[in-house]
């Protein structure tokens, strides 16, 4: 089986990286991680990658005069590794338009909200403040704008009356760890087509019923 080669960009603890590493270690999974790049030398996710025998690289963004010059160095590392898909897993940098276009439809991100709602770094607080009953996570193809692009996979979780940012984040994170490997599998199996900025998924079974919270009694 030919496996899709994946590069992962991180900045921190790498919990979604861990989920991807675990998925790639599953027999028959159609992708493999060939490189993990961090812009921070002390990112915990680097340890996870090294423990799994995955090549790592640290490229500190502060050493570059602008975003594009940093992105070009990341691009060089990714291409040298043979990566065909780039996954952002807690990568706290907005990619330049140059990079996104150089990897058009080959960069994916995961965000802790049901996009297009609640973009940005405070998505959990935004959801609680808005009083929504459901929040969740979204895996999407990356575009130059923050948290924008064709949506691949979403999962909804309830927002409970006593939730704070931390409890909601923990509930959504569990969903993230399921959704990211699922999205990578769809891409690796060539079941995604991008049409007019929509991701068309070739899936035999789709959810058709309503997701209601609180449940009717």
- Please list, in sequence order, all residues whose beta carbon lies within 8 angstroms of the beta carbon of residue 157, skipping any fewer than 6 positions away: 134, 135, 136, 168, 171, 172, 174, 175
Helix/strand/coil percentages in the chain, nearest 5: 35, 25, 40
Q: How far apart are CA 168 and CA 159, in angstroms?
A: 7
Encoded tokens for 139: 């895996």
Catalytic residue among 48, 61, 111, 140: 111
CA neighbor of 133 nearest in space, from 211, 22, 45: 211
| 111 counts as catalytic | yes
Cα 168 to Cα 10, 69, 133, 134, 188: the distances in Å are 22, 36, 11, 10, 30
Q: How far apart are CA 65 and CA 59, in angstroms?
A: 13
Residues carrying an active site annotation: 111
């Amino acid at each position: 089986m030919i496996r899709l080669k994946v590069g992962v960009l991180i900045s921190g603890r790498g919990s979604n990286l861990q989920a991807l590493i675990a998925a790639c270690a599953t027999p028959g999974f159609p992708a493999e991680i060939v490189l993990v790049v961090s812009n921070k030398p002390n990112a915990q996710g680097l340890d996870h990658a090294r423990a799994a025998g995955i090549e790592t690289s640290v490229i500190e963004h502060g050493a570059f005069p602008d975003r594009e010059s940093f992105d070009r160095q990341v691009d060089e590392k990714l291409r040298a590794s043979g990566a065909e898909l780039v996954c952002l897993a807690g990568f706290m940098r907005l990619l330049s338009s140059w990079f996104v276009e150089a990897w058009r439809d080959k960069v994916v991100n995961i965000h802790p909200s049901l996009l297009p709602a609640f973009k940005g770094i405070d998505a959990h607080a935004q959801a609680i403040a808005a009083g929504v009953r459901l929040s969740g996570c979204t895996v999407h193809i990356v575009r130059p704008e923050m948290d924008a692009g064709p949506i691949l996979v979403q999962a909804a979780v309830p927002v409970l009356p006593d939730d704070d940012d931390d409890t909601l984040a923990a509930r959504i994170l569990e969903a993230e760890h399921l959704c990211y490997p699922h999205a990578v599998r769809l891409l690796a199996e060539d079941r995604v087509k991008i049409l007019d900025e929509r991701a068309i998924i070739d899936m035999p079974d789709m959810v058709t019923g309503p997701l209601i919270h609180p449940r009717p009694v």
